[in-house]
Amino acid sequence: MEKVLVIGACGQIGVELTLALRKIHGGDNVWASDIRDENPLLVGTGPYTSLDATDAEGTRTLVKREGVTQIYLLAALLSATGEKNPKLCWDLNMTSLRQVLDLAVEEKIKIFWPSSIAVFGTTTPKVRTPQMTVIEPTTMYGITKYAGEMLCQYYQKRYGIDVRSVRYPGLISWKSEPGGGTTDYAVDIYIQALKEGKYTCFLSENTPLPMMYMDDAIRATIELMQAPADMLKTHMAYNLSAMSFTPKEIAEVIKKRIPNFEMSYAPDHRQAIADSWPGSIDDSVARNEWNWKHEFDLEKMTDTMLENLKTKLGK
Ligand code: AKB
């Protein structure tokens, strides 16, 4: 029986991943933790504790007491917030990872840690970016993700721990909101389309970015963690992909469903971050090694987002 700890369980990925893990392992076997108050969607579904992801002793005590066998470390400062406070971004993202890797060595724990397309920079090929390529991130967030990938690989080779990772694209969800990323516009646009009938995008209209609907991201995470170790030949974070679109393209798909929807553009500091990232990702290595396959494209995701947000927002 697995005993799971999710660190950063109240964030955009954390809420939905915790709920999915509780379905698989049983609510009582999945501890959720975050520095924030418990997300209302998690209340009553399993144990919750307040935990600072950089608190090594607090984490160790919980892990030992509960006999934790798997940790999903999701706490992080994302790209846009990370540029506002680069020192905190480095401290939070790297300290939390290193202490979880040390715990993995001590207690033989299996780890999931997310990387991101933010590892790629302006010198990386922009179209169908391959798994192995030039990696020169431009943001502090991207630097922590690339350093983190190297650290995971080091611990795996040196200490033989089982640590698995993917490079998430922008993630789009309706249950839990994103916080502080460059791809967040692709969530806000649906909310504002329903609330106001219009949206001002902080990226310019022709900025393509790789994106994924949250259900696919959660399934990818769980499938990777469940894959037999001998299927996995790549010991860096896997490229992961589902769709790519520009702000103009998503606006057009929304307009088909909400004809009066109006889109305008006011690019800000996040434009430079988006411009440094790839427009599309080649994830054939994940598809070949552990049979990754996405289910949601832009049309299907838009139908699902609008339908669920209408109910959530009472529209
Ligand atoms: C961000 O925009 O910072 C994140 C990411 C792509 O990792 N969504």
The CA 48 to ligand 1 mean position distance, Å, reads: 26
Which of 74, 93, 165, 168 has the most ligand 1 atoms within 8 A of CB, as the residue to mutate?
A: 168
Single-letter code of the amino acid located at 33 = S
What digits encode the pLDDT tens for the residues 21-38?
A: 999 999 999 999 999 999
- CA-based nearest residue to 78, from 203, 165, 184: 184
The CA 171 to ligand 1 mean position distance, Å, reads: 8
The CA 1 to ligand 1 mean position distance, Å, reads: 33
Band (pLDDT 50/70/90 cuts) for residue 212 is: very high
What digits encode the pLDDT tens for the residues 66-108?
A: 999 999 999 999 999 999 999 999 999 999 999 999 999 999 9
Average pLDDT of span 238-261: 98
The CA 173 to ligand 1 mean position distance, Å, reads: 13
Q: Which residues contact 280 (CB under 8 A, 6 or more apart)?
A: 126, 127, 128, 129, 208, 210, 241, 244
Q: Which residue minimizes the CA distance to atom 7 of ligand 1?
A: 116
Which superfamily does 171-211+241-313 belong to?
UDP-galactose 4-epimerase, domain 1 (3.90.25.10)
Pocket of ligand 1 (CB under 6 A): 78-79, 116-118, 141, 168, 170-171, 181-183
Average pLDDT of span 54-64: 98
Question: In the 3-class helix/strand/coil scheme, how is the chain assigned residue by residue?
Answer: CCCEEEECCCCHHHHHHHHHHHHHHCHHHEEEEECCCCCCCCCCCCCEEECCCCCHHHHHHHHHHHCCCEEEECCCCCHHHHHHCHHHHHHHHHHHHHHHHHHHHHHCCEEECCEEHHHCCCCCCCCCECCCCCCCCCCHHHHHHHHHHHHHHHHHHHHCCCEECEEECEEECCCCCCCCCCCCHHHHHHHHHHHCCEEEECCCCCCCEEEEEHHHHHHHHHHHHHCCHHHCCCCCCEECCCEEECHHHHHHHHHHHCCCCEEEECCCCHHHHHHHCCCCECCHHHHHHHCCCCCCCHHHHHHHHHHHHHHHHCC
What digits encode the pLDDT tens for the residues 187-201?
A: 999 999 999 999 999
Which of 92, 141, 176, 273 has the most ligand 1 atoms within 8 A of CB, as the residue to mutate?
A: 141
Which is catalytic among the residues 141, 168, 190, 213? 141
Residue 216 pLDDT: 98
Residue 235 pLDDT: 83
Residue 221 pLDDT: 98
Q: Which residues contact 310 (CB under 8 A, 6 or more apart)?
A: 194
N-term to C-term CA, the chain: 43
Mean of per-residue pLDDT scores for the chain: 97
Give the whole-angstrom CA distance, residue 5 versus residue 48: 10
Residue 66 CA, chain-centre distance (Å), reads 26
- CA-based nearest residue to 137, from 167, 101, 162: 167
Q: Structure tokens of 181?
A: 């990323």
Which residue reads 């994940």 in tokens?
A: 286
**Is residue 48 annotated as a catalytic residue, yes or no?**
no
How would you label 29-43 residue by residue, b for 16+ Cβ within 10 Å and e otherwise? bbbbbbeeebbeebe
Beta-bridge partner residues of 31? 5
Q: Would you say residue 249 has pLDDT above 90?
A: yes
Average pLDDT of span 210-238: 96
In this structure, the number of other CB atoms found within 10 A of the CB of residue 287 comes to 16
What digits encode the pLDDT tens for the residues 135-150?
A: 999 999 999 999 999 9
The domains of the chain are located at 4-168+232-239, 171-211+241-313
Q: Is the pTM of this model over 0.95?
A: yes
The total number of residues shown for the chain amounts to 315
Q: Would you say residue 179 has pLDDT above 90?
A: no
Q: What percent of the chain has pLDDT over 90?
A: 97
CATH, domain 4-168+232-239, list 1.10.150.530, 3.40.50.300, 1.20.1730.10, 3.40.50.720: 3.40.50.720
Give the whole-angstrom CA distance, residue 145 versus residue 76: 10
Q: Would you say residue 236 has pLDDT above 90?
A: no
Q: With contact defined as beta carbons under 8 Å apart, do 18 and 9 qualify?
A: yes
Q: Would you say residue 244 has pLDDT above 90?
A: yes
Residue 210 pLDDT: 98
Average pLDDT of span 309-313: 97
Residue 202 pLDDT: 98
